[in-house]
Amino acid sequence: MNNKLEMLRIFSVAAENLSFKETAVKLSISPQAVTRAIKELENLQGELLFHRNTRHMQLTHFGHRLFDKAKPLIKEFDALFERNAEEANEGLAGKVRIAAPLGFGRSVVTPIVVQLLKKYPDINIELMLSDKRADVVEERIDIGLRIGFIRDNRFIVKKIGQIEFFVVAALELIQQLGSPQTPSDLHHLPTSSVLDPGTGRTWPWYFKSANELHSFNSRIVFDDAEAEFKAALDGLVFAQVPSFLANKELNNKTLIRVLKEYDPEPWTLFIYRPQRGPVPKRVRVIFDELVSNISNSGI
């Protein structure tokens, strides 16, 4: 038996009961396993632990000293797991780290997190919003959201929605310059671009059938999709923006959608968590809440 802690546990129960047979019954192991553990522990210590004859068994002087030392250690070890079990069964407490894209995180995730903090007052959430891809291990991410694709088998991944992309402009800009009829017309109109923080280059505009159009003549380049969206609202540019930003403004006509027939295929929205070890209850609960709230948000 190589597990020294288990040997000490068997010894402690035997010291309390002064019977190998009763020890075996209490620990649901065989009497032979008890005898073997005591013998191995005696060999490790180089001392006898029990005086035994056919009728009686009692601790040796050394056995008494070892029992006095072992009992509080085993109790403290067991209490560690009892506390963990109690927290898992009764309380939702601790920190959950969530990573999400910047614009989506501000527009969709942050309002949900605010409600979750009210619902679960003992859970603390660290919400990390960035368009740079999070290093899940280095940044100790518990839950992540990503738009596009995930090719990492280290993650537990769930599809929870789709993000559409629309070309939009303010009505006054369309009245002033006209509406593009094909993507190529955008080369002659004021457009905007957003920088990809991973490459330092601007994101291409996407259209149906996987055609791309780089906005080489962008009037303005942003490092933030929300700032680009505001520039479109202010009538400065034509922009290609995600549905979670555009839907409200399209419904109230403050933005006009153009080139509808060229809309690209929607991108998939994923939620994921690292596939490592046991998952704390607080992480499972927040994961499920995000799935439910985002799936039902109609983005």
Mean of the per-residue pLDDT values for the chain?
A: 87
| Residue 184 per-residue DSSP state | G
**Mean of pLDDT values over 281-288:** 92
Q: What is the Cα–Cα distance from 33 to 38, expressed in whole angstroms?
A: 9
Q: What is the mean pLDDT of residues 82-93?
A: 57
For residue 1, pLDDT beyond 50: no
CA distances from 126 to 129, 157, 169 (A): 10, 20, 35
Q: Using N-to-C axis directions, what is the helix angle for 225-233 and 243-251, rounded to 10°? A: 20
CA distance 92 to 280: 9
Region at 52 (left for phi over 0; alpha for psi -120 to 50; beta for the rest): beta
Are the beta carbons of 18 and 57 closer than 8 angstroms?
yes
Evaluate whether 144 touches 134 at the Cβ level (below 8 Å): yes
pLDDT tens-place string over residues 196-248: 887 888 888 999 877 777 766 788 999 888 999 999 999 999 999 999 999 99
**Residue pointed to by tokens 């607080």:** 282
Decide if pLDDT at 115 tops 80.
yes
Paired strand residues for 167: 240, 258
| pLDDT for residue 255 is more than 90 | yes
pLDDT of residue 132: 78
Which of 84-88, 95-99, 130-134, 160-164 has the least mean pLDDT? 84-88
Evaluated on CA atoms 12, 13, 17, 18, the torsion sign reads negative
Look at the chain and count its residues: 299
Query: Which residues 6+ apart lie within 8 Å of 25 measured at CB?
Result: none
In angstroms, the first-to-last Cα distance of the chain is: 58
Q: What is the pLDDT of residue 152?
A: 65
Mean pLDDT over residues 7-34, rounded?
88
Q: What would the mean pLDDT of 64-81 be, rounded to a whole number? A: 85
Report which of 74, 10, 76 is spatially closest to residue 41, judged by C-alpha positions. 10
Higher pLDDT, 217 or 97: 97
Kindly report which listed range (22-26, 101-105, 149-153, 253-257) carries the lowest average pLDDT score. Answer: 149-153
Mean pLDDT across the stretch 126-146?
82
State how far the Cα of 247 lies from the Cα of 235, in Å rounded to an integer.
17
Give yes or no for a contact between 283 and 142, defined as CB atoms under 8 angstroms apart.
yes
Distance CA 184, CA 174 (A): 16
Mean predicted confidence (pLDDT) in 179-185: 93
**pLDDT over 50 at 278, yes or no:** yes
For 35, 62, 103, 251, the CA distances from 49, given in Å and listed in that order, are 12, 6, 68, 82
User: Residue 89 has what pLDDT?
Assistant: 47
- Least reliable range by pLDDT among 69-73, 152-156, 165-169, 190-194: 152-156
* CB-neighbour burial class of residue 248 (10 A; exposed 0-12, middle 13-18, buried 19+): exposed
For Cα atoms 254, 256, 259, give the angle at the middle one, nearest 5 degrees. 165
Q: Whole-prediction pTM value?
A: 0.65
Tokens representing 140 are 């100790």
Query: Does residue 82 have a pLDDT over 70?
Result: no
Taking residues 183-198, what's their average pLDDT?
A: 90
CA atoms of 147 and 66, how far apart (whole Å): 59
Give the residue, 279 or 164, on which the prediction is more confident.
164
pLDDT at 137 over 80: no
